[in-house]
Structure 1
Amino acid sequence: MKRIALFPGSFDPFTKGHEDIVLRSLKLFDEVVVAIGHNTKKQRYFDIDLMLDKIKSAFKDYPNVKVVLYDELTAKLAEKFDASFLVRGLRNTTDFEYENSISQINKHLNVGLETVFLITSPELAPISSSIIREVHKYGEDVSAFLPYDL
């Protein structure tokens, strides 16, 4: 049986930190599905179709990475892809508190779904999508933080 992991997020934008989580996940799982979701609490800064194309291009040499868009509960999307695992990256304890709550609800909605937390690589821990959006908004170069060109 294939070990399939879902890596969900708004990815607005998808950063080198996110890329690192995907690449490290490939050491644990046969397939990783990067799922770009619609966060009802956030207004997107980068166009979702642009992110889809950029993330697909970043993993074009990885046939075991799929990139999809979704607008439903993450736990239900995992069922559609036969994913038994959710992968989440943690930069700090604040991330853990937030992600732990979500993982409990996902487990309630999909009993067979396990959440796997990966600690962000130290050199990438300061990178956050919200900071990158702010820097980009004011016209500064953010290419050092992204695994693709904008």
Structure 2
Amino acid sequence: MSERIAVYPGSFDPVTFGHLDILQRGLSVFDHIIIAVLNNSSKHPLFTVEERVALLKKSTAHLGAVTVDSFEGLLVDYAKKKNVSVVLRGLRAISDFEYELQIAAINKNLNPTIETCFMMTSNHYSFLSSSMVKEAAMYGGSVHELVPLPVEQALKQKFSSKHHPSD
């Protein structure tokens, strides 16, 4: 039997415990998961692609069958290049499902061999998003229970070097 490999794409700006929850549970279904950080030039991320890859590597070092990579362009092209036919995506709410269903449909249209595996996030993380984490951290809120330690430290460093929004 061949190895079951999935690609887990996203911006991961920054990676949260919700992302890691999907990843760890995904490893119970797949033999190996490639975390693929999207380099989307139209977005203005807080962390560079290189920083996000480094934070993901630190945050997943305790996991075995995980590779962290980055890509530009179409996910289906990246998946084909990596010889992967399954995309792993996490869902928090109905609004996520509607968006993710559109993405899965266009990916299937672009490459009929691509399958998307949706995994519901654990209830504990159903509220969690990277943008909420960034906003909380920007205003000095504790994100200790939301992100891995390397991410918490990186957020503190990013926001301590910027002026407080009310300044």
Under a length normalisation based on structure 1, what TM-score does the superposition of the two structures give? 0.94
Query: Unpaired runs of 5+ in structure 1?
Result: none
Letter in 2 for 1:123: H
- How many residues in Structure 1 have an aligned counterpart in Structure 2? 150
User: Could you tell me which residue of structure 2 aligns to residue 89 of structure 1?
Assistant: 90
User: Could you tell me which residue of structure 1 aligns to residue 128 of structure 2?
Assistant: 127
User: Could you tell me which residue of structure 2 aligns to residue 66 of structure 1?
Assistant: 67
Query: Unpaired runs of 5+ in structure 2?
Result: 154-167
| Percent identity between the two aligned chains | 38
Letter in 1 for 2:61: K
Contact 1:17 1:120 survives alignment (8 Å): yes
- Describe the SS at the equivalent of 1:67: strand
Root mean square deviation, CA, Å: 1.3
Contact 1:3 1:84 survives alignment (8 Å): no
Under a length normalisation based on structure 2, what TM-score does the superposition of the two structures give? 0.85
Q: Distance in 1 between matches of 2:63 and 2:128?
A: 24
The alpha-carbon distance between structure 1 residues 8 and 139, as it changes in their structure 2 partners (threshold 3 A), is same
| 1:76-115 matches, cutoff 5 A | 76-115=77-116
- Describe the superposition over 1:80-110 as per-residue Cα deviations: whole angstroms up to 9, x where unpaired: 1111110111100000000000000111112
Q: After superposing the two structures, state which structure 1 stretch, 47-56 or 117-126, moved more.
A: 47-56
Higher relative contact order (CA 8 A, sep 6+): 1
The alpha-carbon distance between structure 1 residues 47 and 142, as it changes in their structure 2 partners (threshold 3 A), is farther
- Describe the SS at the equivalent of 1:5: strand
Q: Quick check: which has more Rg, 1 or 2?
A: 2
User: Could you tell me which residue of structure 2 aligns to residue 44 of structure 1?
Assistant: 45
